[in-house]
Amino acid sequence: MLSLAGVTVRFDDVVAVREVTLDLPDGDVLAVVGPSGCGKSTLLRAVAGLEPLAAGTVSWDGDDLAGTPTHRRGFALMFQDGQLFDHLTVGRNVGYALRLRGASRSSTRARVDELLALVGLAGFAGRLPRTLSGGERQRVALARSLAAEPRLLLLDEPLSSLDATLRTRLAGDLRQILRDAGTTALLVTHDQEEAFTVADRLAVMRAGQVVQEGATAEVWSAPADPETALFLGYDAVLEGRAAGVLLGEDRDGGTPVAVRRSALVASPVGGVGLAARVVAVSAAPDELRLLLDVEGVGELPAVGAAGWLPAAGDRVTVRVDRDRVAVLDR
């Protein structure tokens, strides 16, 4: 089990990571999410032993790793852009860790073929990294990391250099591969969807500190504060009276409420719901996106019922899906 206690990393006078404490049980996948520059990559590098700690400990099964250099930690780090060795073929990249340990040529080759098949690149062993696409490079990097049979796999924004479609597909693959291999992994990403797909647990980081940690679904449905909610993909945070009107409760002075676009479903006037006026309309391939001025609440994003196209200025009725609204603690 990986344990971080009070981990602090300083660059000259800038504190990049401040007193982070986290536990990662064996077999779990933990995603550290946060906006760019929040210190999450630095945290990952500190775990790998690539950044010296200013304070705190990184330990594995209770052993402090302070004196253990990177190559003896048994933590494989997969970089954002793969960092394949361009002078080696795909096969030699993947077999790198095996050859370091003096594995025989034939057993290395067999394992390399197996891993390449696992990441869906069977037959790529003879290629040079330069000839691969971005997605293929990341798959090779993943296979190379898995070949090291790390006790912990560190993933630094593994998919963020890829385009959206590929990212969604690879995120699913990555989860499957990690599950199948039973790998303990620490993933760092700014993309909350990627984190949601791949990880069992989430830690949200902001300005060098972990602000929330828990099971993925738990964090997702109950963000700790407005900023976390917005980062996790909620579209708006309401406070005070507006929050009460939306929830249909009298909760003046209550805590803020975070709302997803999909929590508000607009339809032609009629039935139960809040009254609203359409401010703007845009059609996306699989849904109708609206910006509404909801009475007593203000402007909010919403979706429209299928097969219906209102115009700006139209009056509509909005139903609120309570499952897609999060009442925040503060």
Partner 1 sequence: MDRPREPLGRLGYVALAAFPVAALGVFFVLPVAGMLHRGIWPEGRFDPGAVLEVLGRPRTLRVVWFTVWTSTVATALSVALGLPVAYVLHRLRFPGRGVVRALVLVPFVLPTVVVGVAIRQLVAESGPLGLLGLDGTPWAIVLGLVFFNVAVVIRTVGAAWESLDRRPAEAAAALGASPHQVLRTVTLPALRPAIVSAASVVFLFCATAFGVVLVLGGLRYASVETEIYLLTTNLLDLPAAAALSLVQLVAIVALLVVAGRLRRVPDPTVQRARVVATRPRTGDVPAILGTVLVLGALAAPITALVVSSLRVDGRWSLAAYRALEGKGNASVDGGGGALFLVPVQDALANSVAIATDATWMSLLLGTVVAFLVTRRTRTPAGRITRGGLDAFFMLPLGVSAVTLGFGFLITLDHPPVDLRSSPLLVPIAQALVALPIVVRTLVPVLAGVDDRQRQAAASLGAGPVRTLLTVDVPVLWRPLLAAAGFSFAVSLGEFGATAFIVRPETPTLPVVIFRLLEHPGTLNYQTAMAGSVVLAGLIAAVVLVVERLRVPALGAW
Residue in 145, 183, 197, 212 binding partner 1, rule: CB under 8 A: 145
- Nearest distance from C-beta of residue 275 to partner 1, angstroms: 53
Closest CB to partner 1 among residues 93, 216: 93
- Nearest distance from C-beta of residue 68 to partner 1, angstroms: 12
For position 134 contacting partner 1 by CB under 8 A, the verdict is no
Q: Tokens 């970089």 map to which residue?
A: 79
Listed ranges 112-120, 125-133, 230-238, 293-301: which one lies at the site for partner 1 (CB under 8 A): 125-133
C-alpha closest to that of 191 among 155, 236, 157, 226:
157
Closest CB to partner 1 among residues 129, 223: 129
Amino acid at the residue 15 = V
Instruction: Give the span between the Cα atoms of 183 and 169, in whole angstroms.
Output: 20
Instruction: Convert residues 39-68 into a mask of x (bound to partner 1 by CB under 8 A) and - (unbound).
Output: ------x--x-x------------------
Closest CB to partner 1 among residues 92, 277: 92
Listed ranges 32-40, 75-83, 226-234, 261-269: which one lies at the site for partner 1 (CB under 8 A): 75-83
Helix H or strand E segment including 110: helix 105-118
Residue in 62, 67, 69, 126 binding partner 1, rule: CB under 8 A: 69
Q: Contacts by 57-63 with C-beta closer than 8 Å and gap 24+?
A: 57/3, 57/4, 57/5, 57/6, 57/7, 58/2, 58/3, 58/4, 58/7, 59/2, 59/3, 59/5, 60/1, 60/2, 60/3, 60/151, 60/152, 61/1, 62/3
DSSP state of 223: -
Closest CB to partner 1 among residues 143, 278: 143
Instruction: Give the span between the Cα atoms of 29 and 39, in whole angstroms.
Output: 19
For position 234 contacting partner 1 by CB under 8 A, the verdict is no
Closest CB to partner 1 among residues 68, 209: 68
Closest CB to partner 1 among residues 30, 204: 30
C-alpha closest to that of 94 among 129, 69, 70:
129
Closest CB to partner 1 among residues 71, 330: 71
For position 154 contacting partner 1 by CB under 8 A, the verdict is yes
C-alpha closest to that of 58 among 46, 70, 69:
46
Exposure string of 234-254, with b = 16+ CB inside 10 Å and e = fewer, is: bbbbbeeebbbbbbeeeeeeb
Q: Looking only at residues 256 through 295 of this chain, which bind partner 1 when binding is defined by CB under 8 A?
A: none
State the number of binding residues for partner 1 (CB under 8 A).
31
For position 75 contacting partner 1 by CB under 8 A, the verdict is yes
Instruction: Convert residues 78-117 into a mask of x (bound to partner 1 by CB under 8 A) and - (unbound).
Output: -x---x-xxxxx------xx--xx----------------
Which positions touch partner 1 (CB under 8 A)? 45, 48, 50, 69-77, 79, 83, 85-89, 96-97, 100-101, 128-130, 144-145, 147-148, 154
